[in-house]
Amino acid sequence: MEGTSSPSAQVDCSKIPIDTLSKETNFTKNKTINISEQEWMNFFKILNGPVYPILVKDFWPRCEIYDEHAAEIEYQMKVAEDPENNKGKSRKDLGLSEFKETEIRSGVTGYKATLTQSHIAKLLNIPNNGVFITFKPGMGRKSSFVGRIAKKCYLQEDIEPSNKVKDMKDTQRLLARIMLGSFFPREGGTDQLSWDHRHFIYFLTVGTRMNLPAYIFHHLCKSIRSAQHPTKLTPQIAYPRLLSDLFYQCAVTDRIARTQQMDLLEEVRALFIDGSVFVMLGLIKPGSLKHPTQPLLENITKEPIPENPPVLFSNEPPEVILAYISMMKAEGIRITAADIAQVSPVDKKKRKRVIKEVKIKKRPLTKHHHLELELLRSSLLMK
């Protein structure tokens, strides 16, 4: 398992909301490139929101990357505890959960937090499929796409694509500005493009569907590993807005607010990318800049968090269901089958219960209790 990141990392608030209306108003040369075709508009919507720098800085130093290598080490250590009896057993037999995908494990203000590529796709409500290509240093120029990248994206179409934004065609320079401002953590100067970047811009240009959650998760892991490197300078924290929305959706910010620790919920926001970027890139003259009548405004509304999430699930042990019903009944609250969240048995290990910690004295079930339990089971089966 990876070590922890440096606590001195700085929050990178360069993930910028895009005023698409302003862009459409000013740039009509090429209408063949439509980022919305990638189905990423929810990602842009999330960018228009607050960053919680204190929470992000609390999360970042604790990050550990749990990948296949870490899972194998975990398994071998478990076998080594009792080689005679444990050798040859499966992870399940040894009490270990099955490895399904790489995880970023951390915590924030005392709450455990796990982040995966699947979580990112679900959080952003975007597809978790499509092209995902990344290269090790020096390998990008061997890609079969190099010639096509030069022809579609660069002014000089017959030579190897350079790592300079200025050598690109106008439309691709704009895409590079959007990419570096919104999608990826910045590496090097603002005019520097890696082979990953060049391929990403090419796929945007030709309309190839890409797996954005895979790109985001890859760069998150890359930034964490870079921060853990003993000889490298500590990079800025990647995707602070995405992490902040994760804390909000998991109700971490809500719980902090309820304890009145508002200093932990300090907010900062990024600037917008709007039509002025065309002037900066030299695509239009300052006097020709048009401003939309309805520009993008700072989004201060937040999606509602369910106040009463389910606390009881249908695949709980019967004794737990009955004990909880009895406890609520003693408090004057009547629990019916409609209050029990329906989940399939295979989901039992995936979910995390939200039941409050209570001390329940174990008592033998009476004939009356068994009758109640049978009635409850019958009502659940009828649903």
Q: State the SS3 of the chain.
A: CCCCCCCCCCECCCCCCECHHHHHHHCCCCCCCCHHHHCCHHHHHHHCCCECHHHHHHHHHHCEEECHHHHHHHHHHHHHHCHHHHCCCCCCCCCCCCCCCCEEEEEECCEEEEECHHHHHHHHCCCCCCECCCCCCCCHHHCCCHHHHHHHHECCCCCCCCCEHHHECHHHHHHHHHHHHHHCCCCCCCCECCHHHHHHHHHHHHCCCECHHHHHHHHHHHHHHHHHCCCCCCCCECCHHHHHHHHHHCCHHHHHHHCCCHHHHCCECCCCECCHHHHHCCCCCHHHCCCCCCCCCCCCCCCCCCCCCCCCECCCCHHHHHHHHHHHHHCCCCCCHHHCECCCHHHCCCCCCCCCCCCCCCCCCCHHHHHHHHHHHHHHHHC
Strand partners, 114: 105
Do residues 91 and 10 touch, judged by C-beta distance below 8 A? no
Confidence bin at 349 (pLDDT 50/70/90): very low
One domain for residues 330 and 279: no
Q: Is residue 339 part of a domain?
A: yes
| pLDDT over 60 at 65, yes or no | yes
Pull the structure tokens for residue 85. Answer: 């009896």
| pLDDT over 90 at 185, yes or no | no
Enumerate residues 6+ apart whose C-beta is below 8 A from 171.
Answer: 29, 30, 33, 205
One domain for residues 110 and 254: yes
Q: Is residue 12 part of a domain?
A: no
One domain for residues 146 and 61: yes
Arithmetic mean of pLDDT, 309-331: 70
Mean pLDDT rounded to a whole number for the chain: 76
One domain for residues 253 and 179: yes
Q: Domains in the chain: how many in total?
A: 2
- Rounded Cα–Cα distance for residues 223 and 109 (Å): 22
Q: What was the pLDDT predicted at 201?
A: 93
One domain for residues 264 and 356: no
One domain for residues 168 and 255: yes
Least confident of 69-78, 172-181, 323-332: 323-332
One domain for residues 231 and 365: no
Q: Is residue 378 part of a domain?
A: yes
One domain for residues 133 and 209: yes
Q: Is residue 3 part of a domain?
A: no
One domain for residues 240 and 363: no
| pLDDT over 90 at 110, yes or no | no
Q: What was the pLDDT predicted at 69?
A: 94
Q: What was the pLDDT predicted at 273?
A: 56
Confidence bin at 343 (pLDDT 50/70/90): low
Pull the structure tokens for residue 318. Answer: 């019967």
One domain for residues 329 and 282: no
One domain for residues 252 and 378: no
Q: What was the pLDDT predicted at 328?
A: 72
Strand partners, 111: 108
Do residues 272 and 20 touch, judged by C-beta distance below 8 A? no
The type of residue at 189 is: G
- Among 128, 14, 9, smallest CA distance to 63 is for 9
Strand partners, 268: 51
Handedness of CA 30, 35, 36, 39 (dihedral sign): positive
- Among 214, 209, 216, 212, smallest CA distance to 37 is for 209
- Among 230, 220, 174, smallest CA distance to 12 is for 220
Phi-psi region of 207 (alpha: psi -120 to 50; beta: other; left: phi over 0): left
| pLDDT over 50 at 170, yes or no | yes
Confidence bin at 228 (pLDDT 50/70/90): confident
Q: How many CB atoms lie within 10 A of CB 219?
A: 18
Strand partners, 107: 112
Confidence bin at 301 (pLDDT 50/70/90): low
pTM over the 0.75 mark: no
One domain for residues 357 and 251: no
C-alpha count within 13 angstroms, C-beta hemisphere, residue 26? 29
Q: Is residue 7 part of a domain?
A: no
Ranges 110-114, 268-272, 276-280, most confident:
110-114
User: In which domain, by residue range, is 228 found?
Assistant: 20-288
